[in-house]
């Protein structure tokens, strides 16, 4: 599974000259080199910029490149200003000009998990999510319920879209009334007061000396504990790692709840993936729909299995 869009991000030299100057001024010294990063789904520049005085990991977007990418970059600036260290990357500087915006972070010398997935990396991520799920969200963050609805509640729409409905596994098509009942509980299931990242996946994680650092925070929410977990596991299975069920057992060793407690979130994320993978491509982000489709397959399989277990338990009573 490709962890990024099917094209290269913009080059450093493509950024407006004024924005490049502001970035170099923030680091200090004179420009020496940049080492671009190509993963992720954004039309922004990303990479480590090195000067004669130091270096910074830079994310930058020109005003006229891609409206959503610029919006999310500015949103991340606001979120990182609220978050307590060391949960989030250390901000060196934030630049917001008429020409565009740039976020400068302290570089992290680590590796992205998943090449291949290892038990050690899963435990590192699980411990970071445990800390996240016991951290009170700072004031000012949008609630998960407000930020994730209607995006994660798509079963009603899927049920009336013959194209999407026909592509579902039969086990889920037959349970559509149950899925819509479960969907009613989504808002309550994600409501809470802890910090939620809302975009945890391999290319948004760097692991350094056994510690998992979460990157890319524009979607941070205030919500229920562990609701990042159902949204992470389908990407692990899709990338050749353990199944969602097998990986969940690792996270339970770090105090994650049983899967059944987060069934509305598991179901909601599956509906999110299946709905959006069927939407038109975004020209600036080629490969995004294929990426969502690759995760939807294990998410739907996982959900169908959980519903079957519920049915078997009910029948045995």
pLDDT tens per residue, range 25-36: 999 999 999 999
- Both structure tokens of 14: 């493509």
pTM, 2 dp = 0.92
- 208: enclosing H helix or E strand: strand 205-208
Question: 3.40.50.1980, 3.40.50.620, 2.60.120.10, 3.30.200.20: which CATH number matches 12-105?
Answer: 3.30.200.20
Helices 263-277 and 288-316, axial angle in degrees (round to 10): 140
> How deeply is 272 buried, as exposed, middle or buried, from its count of CB atoms within 10 A (0-12, 13-18, 19+)?
buried
Taking a C-beta distance cutoff of 8 angstroms, is the pair 193, 137 a contact? Answer: yes
Q: Which CATH class is domain 119-316?
A: alpha beta
Domain with CATH 3.30.200.20 in the chain: 12-105
> pLDDT 10s per residue in the chain (317 long)?
665 555 568 999 999 999 999 999 999 999 999 999 877 777 899 999 999 999 999 999 999 998 999 999 999 999 999 998 788 899 999 999 999 999 999 999 999 999 899 999 999 999 999 999 999 999 999 999 999 999 999 999 999 999 999 999 999 999 999 999 999 999 999 999 999 999 999 989 999 999 999 999 999 999 999 999 999 999 999 999 999 999 999 999 999 999 999 999 999 999 999 999 999 998 878 889 999 999 999 999 999 999 988 765 555 55
pLDDT of 108: 93
Separation CA 111–CA 137 (nearest Å):
27
Each residue of 135-172: pLDDT tens digit? 999 999 999 999 999 999 999 999 999 999 999 999 99
Per-residue confidence (pLDDT) for residue 40, from 0 to 100: 73
Question: Three-state SS for 2?
Answer: coil
With pLDDT > 70 as the criterion, what percentage of the chain qualifies?
95
- What's the pLDDT tens digit per position in 57-99? 999 999 999 899 999 999 999 999 999 878 889 999 999 999 9
Q: What share of the chain is helix, strand, coil (3-state, %, to 5)?
A: 45, 15, 40
CATH 3.90.1200.10 spans which residues of the chain? Answer: 119-316
Task: Please tell me the distance from the alpha carbon of residue 212 to that of residue 223, in angstroms, as a whole number.
Answer: 21
Q: How far is CA 116 from the centre of its chain?
A: 19
């Amino acid at each position: 599974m490709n962890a990024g869009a099917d094209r290269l991000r913009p080059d450093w030299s493509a950024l407006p000259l004024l924005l490049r100057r502001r970035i170099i001024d923030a680091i200090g010294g004179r420009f020496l080199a940049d080492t671009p990063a190509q993963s992720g789904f954004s039309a922004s520049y990303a990479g480590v910029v090195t000067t004669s005085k130091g270096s910074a990991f830079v994310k930058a977007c020109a005003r006229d490149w891609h409206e959503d990418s610029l919006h999310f970059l500015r949103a991340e600036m606001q979120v990182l200003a609220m978050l307590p260290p060391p949960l989030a990357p250390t901000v060196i500087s934030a630049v917001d000009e008429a020409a565009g915006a740039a976020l400068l972070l302290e570089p992290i010398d680590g590796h992205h998990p998943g090449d291949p997935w290892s038990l050690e990396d899963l435990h590192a991520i699980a411990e970071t999510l445990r800390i996240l799920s016991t951290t009170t969200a700072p004031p000012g963050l949008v609630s998960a319920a407000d930020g994730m609805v209607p995006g994660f509640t798509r079963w009603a729409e899927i049920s009336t879209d013959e194209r999407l409905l026909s592509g579902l596994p039969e086990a889920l098509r037959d349970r559509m009334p149950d899925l819509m009942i479960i969907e009613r509980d989504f808002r309550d299931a994600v409501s809470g007061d802890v910090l939620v990242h809302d975009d945890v996946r391999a290319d948004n994680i760097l692991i350094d000396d056994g510690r998992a650092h979460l990157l890319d925070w524009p979607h941070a929410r205030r919500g229920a504990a562990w609701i990042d977990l159902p949204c992470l596991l389908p990407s692990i299975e899709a990338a050749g790692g353990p199944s969602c069920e097998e990986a969940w057992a690792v996270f339970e060793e770090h105090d994650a709840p049983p899967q059944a407690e987060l069934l509305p979130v598991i179901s909601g994320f599956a509906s999110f993936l299946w709905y959006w993978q069927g939407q038109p491509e975004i020209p600036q982000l080629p490969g995004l729909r294929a990426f969502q489709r690759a995760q939807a397959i294990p998410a739907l399989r996982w959900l169908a299995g959980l519903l079957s277990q519920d049915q078997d338990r009910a029948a045995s009573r």
